[in-house]
């Protein structure tokens, strides 16, 4: 099943689960609309041919939903009863923090295996260097920034680009460096608006007529609109561009297809080995299994050296 926000590469993970399951002689079922479909008994056969020609597609053929009903004990019991009645031995959950938090709660009332593949563009799950969809989102945003630069340079303006990342700044940091931003504002570091104003004024004195700022939506100072308002009060000509859900769509990159395939297959192997309550990931090129509790609740650190690099490049 896929759950929570959709990410490019989810279909590649679904394909891997279905085909590796078939390779081992297992019956694989697809659950529509995540936990809500588990509650509503929306199960269907998922054979190797039913996942043909989907690896290149964004979104998810199983669809997804955020289920308020599953947040209740009664809803979780309905889901558990359906799994038991259908004779399900294990579930592969493709999603992020909310998905794995739901799995932790489901495990309290259902005895089957529960393993996860890291599907979120935010790249904020502990236990994997990268998550499914992150690379595609970064490439999508970088392409958008390249186009915005044409207008920014033509009008000699400041553009503030808001990207996704409620609790983590991985996207903002990657696209900020890749897009040549002068400032990168993320939740992991304090935002000092007076210092930003001073640096932009210095840039203008040095002859830099346009400036690019990338801000994660979860930055403590606020999103792009708040930053633009603060800058314009200082006499600048700033514009906001909020990319929003554009970042979650599109064909997955080769890197995301590979990661999704690798972790999807690892989920099946983990279930066969009797593992449960873990997320499959890749750390330093090595396949890993991380307890859901760690994947969700341990803070994945932003690389300090990359932050320092961004500051040095903005000279």
The DSSP secondary structure of 37-93, one letter per residue, reads: HHHTT-EEE--TTTTTT-TT-SS-TT-----SGGGSHHHHHHHHHHHHHTT--EEEE
Residue 301 burial by Cβ neighbours in a 10 Å radius (0-12, 13-18, 19+): exposed
Strand partners, 115: 92, 278
The DSSP secondary structure of 23-35, one letter per residue, reads: HTT---EEETTHH
Place of tokens 């906001």: 240
Torsion from C-alpha of 22, 23, 26, 31, nearest 10 degrees? -40
Contact present, 212 and 145 (Cβ < 8 Å)? yes
Three-state DSSP state, 107: coil
Rounded Cα gap, residues 164 and 84, in angstroms: 37
**122 noted as active-site residue:** yes
Rounded Cα gap, residues 139 and 133, in angstroms: 10
Contact present, 226 and 258 (Cβ < 8 Å)? no
Rounded Cα gap, residues 162 and 222, in angstroms: 10
Rounded Cα gap, residues 170 and 173, in angstroms: 5
Catalytic one among 6, 40, 89, 122? Answer: 122
Residue 245 burial by Cβ neighbours in a 10 Å radius (0-12, 13-18, 19+): exposed
List, by residue number, the catalytic residues: 122
């Amino acid at each position: 099943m896929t759950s929570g926000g959709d990410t490019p590469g989810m279909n590649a993970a679904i394909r891997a689960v279905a085909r590796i399951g078939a390779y081992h002689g297992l019956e694989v079922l697809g659950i529509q609309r995540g936990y809500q479909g588990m509650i509503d008994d929306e199960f269907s056969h998922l054979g190797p041919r039913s996942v043909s020609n989907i690896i290149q597609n964004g979104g998810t053929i199983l669809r997804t939903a955020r289920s308020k009903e599953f947040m209740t004990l009664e809803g979780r019991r309905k889901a558990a009863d359906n799994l038991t009645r259908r004779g399900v031995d294990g579930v592969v959950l493709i999603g992020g923090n909310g998905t794995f938090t739901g799995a932790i709660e489901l495990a309290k009332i259902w005895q089957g295996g529960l393993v996860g593949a890291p599907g979120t563009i935010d790249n904020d799950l502990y236990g994997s260097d990268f998550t499914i969809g992150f690379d595609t989102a970064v490439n999508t945003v970088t392409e958008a920034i390249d186009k915005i630069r044409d207008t920014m340079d033509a009008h000699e303006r400041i553009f503030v680009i808001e990207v996704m990342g409620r609790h983590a700044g991985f996207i903002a940091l990657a696209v900020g460096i890749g897009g040549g931003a002068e400032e990168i504002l993320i939740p992991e570091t304090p935002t000092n608006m007076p210092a930003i104003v001073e640096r932009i004024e210095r840039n203008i004195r040095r002859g830099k007529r346009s400036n690019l700022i990338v801000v994660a939506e979860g930055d403590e100072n606020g999103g792009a609109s708040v930053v633009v308002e603060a800058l314009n009060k200082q006499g600048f000509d700033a514009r906001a561009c909020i990319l929003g859900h554009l970042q979650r769509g599109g064909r997955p990159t080769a890197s995301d297809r590979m990661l999704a395939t690798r972790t999807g297959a690892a989920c099946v192997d983990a279930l066969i080995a009797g593992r449960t309550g873990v997320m499959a990931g890749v750390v330093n090129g090595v396949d890993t299994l991380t307890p859901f509790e760690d994947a969700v609740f341990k803070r994945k650190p932003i690389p300090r050296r990359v932050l320092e690099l961004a500051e040095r490049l903005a000279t």
